[in-house]
Structure 1
């Protein structure tokens, strides 16, 4: 029985990996994602913290760089974290004494959901979900086995999760009241819990020190996020998307909430249900992006799968038919919508035909567009890098060391550094972490501007400029982004640039 169980586990893990290497087809003009370029570039600027994310992703990017930096490895790690999350769900089902059907049901619900979309991109989200899931697994094992050392491991997981994404703090904030109102409140008298807390603080300390030394830029980041993106999030929309993330799989994780009330073996674990409610209350109150809550679902999938397997246990006739119907309802919509949910066909084919764009193509600006935002953020980057490289070739070879590539945003700078790295000087921008990464220069004669036409603050310090090209893909989020070669830079401009850089850095500080 055990061998059979792990045979199916290996099959599910292989399926998970296989799907993720099919989900983005570079033959159909898709490049890496805007955010992926920023995370990969952090490997060239290692630090204890960044404006956008904590440092875990940067060190993972360094590993990717050592492995060659190819797209395969960029895709590999989020897929790996997704597979490990599914492995922990499998172990959770085993911990709850779920059978083969429960394990298979949980695996299918996890794969055929928004989790696959999360695991598609190289962002901190995949490891964030893994951290939440592993934290629940260790806590549930502690409650079941009462082995104190598990609380030390729990602290380590929360500490590493913090270094990946601050989002895990919302789990901690929800767990505290959930445990306090449960029969497990005595856990707060356990010295190993505080040992785990010390481990978490020790791991988080370098980033906490970095935050304070740099004026707590996380506060500025959260304010900017709230004013530009979260303001467009409707609370009703947040709740609605929670139901859409898993399609028919919602009936599985939803069954966990019913099970906490009605199923006696789940009584010791009711705090998980309370944690879910507290997490939702926190995110709804702050108008969070819907995917912030994804980390809470793997544990609910495990509980829900076990509860459904108990409901359908017993008589083989109708119950066997219901089991098969349940698996079909979970898997069929996912594969029927596969080429809509993932960039596996030409972008212009995605835009053809009747599609519920409100559900799939609503961007962070609150508007409905032709493509999903993630898809549009994966178009035009190689073209841009090629245009910049061609423009760079127009600069006399002796002057290239005195040439700077200045971009409007981090996506442009990161894409140029990834696709044209080594062929041109490093691209910079006043956006995101790049504001700290300006190269040291004594002389500046040429400037390559990427984005909008050079503005007055550039033109007044230059003798001439010319447009050399622009992104031509109308479906790209960066459609129309231009490349301009600016000549005859006044020496004063370099001093001004340094001044503006310091001013921009100061703007990220919570205090001056």
Structure 2
């Protein structure tokens, strides 16, 4: 009687499982809570639409599904992010195999993703950024297949993936711009003369149309958001520091991997022309250098492509007798740097220990301009602290109100994080509805008039005197190692607005 045996899992599957376990396990550790943006995205997922001020709808729709299935805890947000990361690792290793890597090269490629601090951050909490590397890598893998199979009809599939990506995050446009440069500057320009590329572009445009129509209907709010972010949030960063940050967040251990990958894409000599893929990275890096961008994560999604190509290049090199030392030195180098920099990307240290670690490695970079934006620990950790305490403090203020005032009170916040915390985490406490003028909260509108009693978070006495007949300090919110702009936040009880809130609402809008 014949016996059927399940084939052993390959390197891509093993690496993906390991990455999923690491990222999800770290994300569920008790040191940190929900990230500020997660609170806002939950609010968005309670108001499904074809668009939002600062992002398209796809990631929000997926979050709604996750909440419906997994409930309202951290797992509903962290599991999809870790799963997207695992799929990215799997596809990176698979692409390395497609480019000629055996087990060693596949392990190097997938291991480089796992070892990079930036991917520990991106896959450690829920956002559209967790899906972006997978979209970009899938798009790049299709471009590789177009050349290796000489199959231009795959441009249709590329268009479908790009269109779906545009419904996740508008930065697919940057990938497309880099690709356009690569096509124009290399022999791959032959595709511009065929119909398949343009049909694929049509598919992408069709899939992106719902969000574009939403943008038109709402006055192109995302363009205003991106303009404000560049004007008021970006810290102008010298080109050398931009380059240093790219090396740091992707891990110095991975530097030889992606350099080898860039070289392979640029110089492959077996008749398969992939130089236009190298141009995608070079164009994106050029934009970062010229624009002096302070956010190294802006082009992080392109690195899995370079890791895949680098894994293939190093694998082939290690087959030569004189380069055999690469078989152990590259994995060891990657692992050593991955362990050394793990606390930079994974929430494995409590805030006090993390602050000590960050001082040891040179301090936490300031990623955004503005008062209260510099912290001893990275912003992506500091903004996971203090939310439950804020809800407690707001609840304490509400409890001082007479029963009649509680029923008609509202909460006004300066930003979507506090508003989202009160709305979502405060729901089980019976807190009043929360409002803010930031991003999509502004489009969702003001509370219905009349508003007689408001809990105001973070405003100053001068502003309150302009808006309300009466106000009193109800408490001071403290959140330890959180972002400084939230620490020592006053909580006010204000009564009797001097002007109807609906009339004031246009003045509170801020897209950033």
TM-score w.r.t. length of structure 2: 0.91
Q: Which residue of 2 aligns with 1:227?
A: 231
**2:380 corresponds to 1:377:** no
Specify the SS of the correspondent of 2:420.
Answer: helix
Q: Tell me if structure 1 keeps the 8 A contact 2:97–2:105.
A: no
1: CA distance, partners of 2:383 / 2:393: 18
Q: Which residue of 1 aligns with 2:115?
A: 112
**2:312 corresponds to 1:306:** yes
Aligned match of 1:90 in 93, 96, 103? 93
Aligned match of 1:296 in 299, 302, 308? 302
Change (3 A) 1:3 1:301: farther
Q: Tell me if structure 2 keeps the 8 A contact 1:363–1:369.
A: no
Q: Tell me if structure 1 keeps the 8 A contact 2:12–2:89.
A: no
Aligned match of 1:365 in 362, 369, 390? 369
2: CA distance, partners of 1:134 / 1:49: 23
Change (3 A) 1:500 1:162: same
Change (3 A) 1:456 1:95: closer
Q: Tell me if structure 2 keeps the 8 A contact 1:21–1:75.
A: yes
Q: Which residue of 2 aligns with 1:482?
A: 490
Aligned match of 1:394 in 388, 392, 400? 400
**2:259 corresponds to 1:257:** no
2: CA distance, partners of 1:357 / 1:256: 27
Which structure 1 residue ranges, 4+ long, deviate > 6 Å from structure 2? 2-5
**2:277 corresponds to 1:272:** yes
2: CA distance, partners of 1:458 / 1:26: 43
Deviation at 1:287, TM superposition (A): 2.8
Structure 1 range deviating more: 375-384 or 454-463: 454-463
Q: Tell me if structure 2 keeps the 8 A contact 1:471–1:482.
A: no
Deviation at 1:472, TM superposition (A): 4.1
2: CA distance, partners of 1:74 / 1:236: 36
**2:77 corresponds to 1:74:** yes
Deviation at 1:82, TM superposition (A): 1.2
Change (3 A) 1:482 1:349: same
Specify the SS of the correspondent of 2:273.
Answer: helix
1: CA distance, partners of 2:471 / 2:175: 55
2: CA distance, partners of 1:350 / 1:126: 23
1: CA distance, partners of 2:455 / 2:17: 45
Deviation at 1:433, TM superposition (A): 1.4
**2:337 corresponds to 1:333:** yes
Mark the runs of 5 or more structure 2 residues left unpaired by the alignment.
none
Q: Which residue of 1 aligns with 2:188?
A: 184
Q: Which residue of 1 aligns with 2:503?
A: 499
2: CA distance, partners of 1:325 / 1:23: 27
Specify the SS of the correspondent of 1:264.
Answer: coil
In the alignment of these two chains, the number of paired residues is 500
Deviation at 1:236, TM superposition (A): 2.4
Specify the SS of the correspondent of 1:360.
Answer: coil
1: CA distance, partners of 2:10 / 2:459: 55
Mark the runs of 5 or more structure 1 residues left unpaired by the alignment.
none
Change (3 A) 1:3 1:98: farther
2: CA distance, partners of 1:107 / 1:474: 34
2: CA distance, partners of 1:444 / 1:500: 12
1: CA distance, partners of 2:463 / 2:358: 45
Q: Which residue of 1 aligns with 2:431?
A: 424
Structure 1 range deviating more: 163-172 or 337-346: 337-346
Q: Which residue of 2 aligns with 1:7?
A: 10
2: CA distance, partners of 1:342 / 1:469: 31
Deviation at 1:388, TM superposition (A): 1.1
Q: Tell me if structure 2 keeps the 8 A contact 1:259–1:266.
A: no
Q: Which residue of 2 aligns with 1:131?
A: 135
2: CA distance, partners of 1:38 / 1:48: 16
**2:455 corresponds to 1:448:** yes
Aligned match of 2:168 in 164, 170, 190? 164
Q: Which residue of 2 aligns with 1:23?
A: 26
